Amino acid sequence: MTEISEIALTTEFWFVAVFIGLLINIVSSIIQRTASKGFFRLNKSWDEKNIKSKQTRQFLVDKYSSSYQQLYLGKLEQNAKQMDVINHTTTTAALLLFGMAGPFGDALTIIALIPAFTALKAGIKHGHFMLIITDAEIELGK
């Protein structure tokens, strides 16, 4: 304990302590500026993406609500998206069933993840498009 108190009383210790404190302060301000710039860019890109998504959605609603023929074409596209979901889900189920029954069970189960994630993505797109078609139906009925 006496060694620590002797070291703390030396001028070298205090010069090093002040230097390290200043160095930490400078580095932390650089990190803070860099992080705030990164967060600003990320927030700006999210805002731009949201604006673009809203504009695209409104364009599609206007397109499909312009006439009954356009609405019919939209419903056909909606049906095609729904068939994609069914196709990927059926493929996933078949691979899982063959994986449980066959000699290549582990490989087929892992391979079944690909159509499973594709079915999930297709389902999200189908749901989003279904909302666009529903909004177009409402607009056309007004």
52-92: per-residue pLDDT in tens? 999 999 999 999 999 999 999 999 999 999 999 999 899 88
The pLDDT assigned to 52 comes to: 94
| Residue 74 exposed, middle or buried by CB count within 10 Å (0-12, 13-18, 19+) | buried
**pLDDT per residue as tens digits for the range 29-44:** 898 988 888 888 888 8
CB 103 within 8 A of CB 109: no
Judge if 78 and 130 occupy the same domain. Answer: yes
Q: Which residue did the predictor score with more confidence, 102 or 125?
A: 125
Q: Is residue 30 part of a domain?
A: yes
Q: Is residue 136 part of a domain?
A: yes
Give me the residue label for tokens 């006439």: 67
Nearest C-alpha neighbor of 83 from the set 122, 118, 115, 116? 122
Judge if 9 and 47 occupy the same domain. Answer: yes
Tell me, what DSSP letter sits at residue 142? -
User: Which residue range is the domain that position 99 belongs to?
Assistant: 65-142
Q: Is residue 56 part of a domain?
A: no
Spatial separation of the C-alpha atoms in residues 48 and 41, rounded to whole Å: 10
Judge if 71 and 141 occupy the same domain. Answer: yes
Give me the residue label for tokens 């932390």: 28
The pLDDT assigned to 62 comes to: 93
The pLDDT assigned to 99 comes to: 75
Counting residues of the chain whose pLDDT is more than 70, the rounded percentage is: 96
Q: Is the pLDDT of residue 10 over 90?
A: no
Q: Is residue 91 part of a domain?
A: yes
Q: Is residue 24 part of a domain?
A: yes
Q: Is residue 58 part of a domain?
A: no
Q: Which residue did the predictor score with more confidence, 100 or 25?
A: 25
The pLDDT assigned to 64 comes to: 93
The pLDDT assigned to 16 comes to: 84
Q: Is the pLDDT of residue 45 over 80?
A: yes
Q: Is residue 59 part of a domain?
A: no
Q: Is residue 47 part of a domain?
A: yes
Judge if 41 and 111 occupy the same domain. Answer: no
Domain count, the chain: 2
Max CA separation in the chain (angstroms): 92
